[in-house]
Structure 1
C-alpha cells in the first residue's frame, strides 16, 4: 500500500503545483470586481478551500461507514487522514472568510448561519482528533471516531443549504449550475482553475497523510512485536 501511495503522491504533487501556479497567475491577472474591488481575489482561495473542507468530510463519512462495515484498516487510515486534511481546509476557509468579511461586512466575524455551521465542522474535526488520541485501544478509537463521524455528517447539508434555508449575510453559492452562478465573466476562469488546484492539492495531502499514517502504524506494530519478544 505504501509503495502505491508513493507513486500516486508524486503524480498528484506535480499536478497540484502546476495547477496552483496557473491558478495564481489567473487570479493576479483577473480584473477587480465592480463592487468588491481587490477583495474578490480572497474568494479564489476561500471558495475552493470551503469545497475541499466539505469534500474531506464526505471522504471521512464514506471511509468511516466502510470501516464499520468491513473492519479493514485501510478505511480507518483514510478516515484518520481525511480528518487532518479536512481540519486544515476548514481552518483556511474560516480564516479567509474573516479576512474577506472585514472590508465587506465591517467585521471579522458574524454569527451567520453559514459561518456558524462551518465553525461546527471545524469543532467536529478537532473533536475527532481528540477522541482518537484519548483512547489507547486502536480498535476502540477507530470504531468511536467512525460513529462520531457518521453522526457529524448531519452538518454537511446544513452548511450547503444554509444560504437557502435562512436569510444570511453570506453570499449565495459562487457557482452552482449555469443558472445560479454569482461569479461570471472574466472572474470565473480563475475560480474554476483554483478549485481544480485545491482539489488536486487536497487529494495529494490525503494520500501523503495516509502514507504517513500507514508507515507509523507499521512501525508501531514492529515495535510492539519487538517489545513482546523481549519480555517473553
Structure 2
C-alpha cells in the first residue's frame, strides 16, 4: 500500500469523475453496432427479427465469460505467486465488470428463448452453468466485502476467483457434451461459418465494440480501486 499512498500524495492519481474519452468511444461503437444490427443487417430467414438479439447476446458472452473470467483467473493466480496488489485490483475489476456482461447474457438469453423456443428459461447445461458462474462471481465480490484484512481478502479472493474461472471451459463444451436446446456454434466452426457475410461483419463489429466497452470500464474500475486503496493507506498511516 505504500506505493499507492505515495502516488496519491503526489497528486498523480487520475480523477475517476473526469470525462473518459475511451469510454465515450466504446459507447459510440456499441451504439453503432446496434444500429447496424437493427437497420442494416438482413433478417434471419428462420428466426426472424428475434435473431438480432444474437449481436448483443453472443458478444456479451465472449467478453463476460472468456475475457473477464480469463483475466480474473490469470490475475488471481499471479497474485498468489507475486503478491502484487495491482493484480488483486485487476482481479476485482475483472470480476465486477465481467458480472455486468454476464448479466447482459442472462437477460438477453431468456428474451431470445421466449421468441425462439416459446419459453423464458430451460434448465439445460449451458444456461444453468452460466447462471452458476454468475452466482460464483457474485459470491467472489461478496467475499471481498466481508473480509476486513487486505492481505486475507486478497488471498482468499484469489483462490475463489481462480476456482470460479475453471467453470468456463466446462460451459464452452456443454453444447457438445450434452444434448439441449441451445444452438451449436455458428461462427467458430471447424468448417466455414454458416453466417452470411453481412451478418458476420455485424457480429465482428459488435464483438469489437463490446471488447472496447469492457476495457474502458475495466480501466475506470482500476482507477477507482487505485484511488480507494491509496486513500485507505493514508487513513491508516
In 2, the alpha carbon distance for the partners of 1:25 and 1:155 equals 33
Equivalent runs, 1:7-86 vs 2, <5 Å: 10=20, 12-28=22-38, 29-54=40-65, 55-86=67-98
Scaled by the length of structure 2, the TM-score of the pair is 0.88
Q: Identify the structure with the greater helix proportion.
A: 1
Give 1:183 deviation, angstroms: 2.9
In 2, the alpha carbon distance for the partners of 1:18 and 1:190 equals 15
Gaps of 5+ in 2: 1-6
- The alignment partner of 2:191 has SS state of helix
Give 1:180 deviation, angstroms: 5.2
Q: How many residues align?
A: 223
In 1, the alpha carbon distance for the partners of 2:115 and 2:73 equals 36
Equivalent runs, 1:193-232 vs 2, <5 Å: 193-225=205-237
Gaps of 5+ in 1: 226-232
Q: Which region of structure 1 is more displaced relative to structure 2, 90-99 or 12-21?
A: 12-21
**Residues 51-93 of structure 1 deviation map (CA, whole Å, 9 limit, x = unaligned):** 0111100000010011111101000000010110111111110
1:173/1:182 contact within 8 Å kept? no
Scaled by the length of structure 1, the TM-score of the pair is 0.90
Describe the shift of the 1:209–1:124 C-alpha distance in structure 2 as closer, same or farther (beyond 3 A). Answer: same
Give 1:186 deviation, angstroms: 2.2
Describe the shift of the 1:212–1:4 C-alpha distance in structure 2 as closer, same or farther (beyond 3 A). Answer: closer
1:103 counterpart = 2:115: yes
- The alignment partner of 1:47 has SS state of helix
- The alignment partner of 1:97 has SS state of helix
1:31/1:187 contact within 8 Å kept? yes
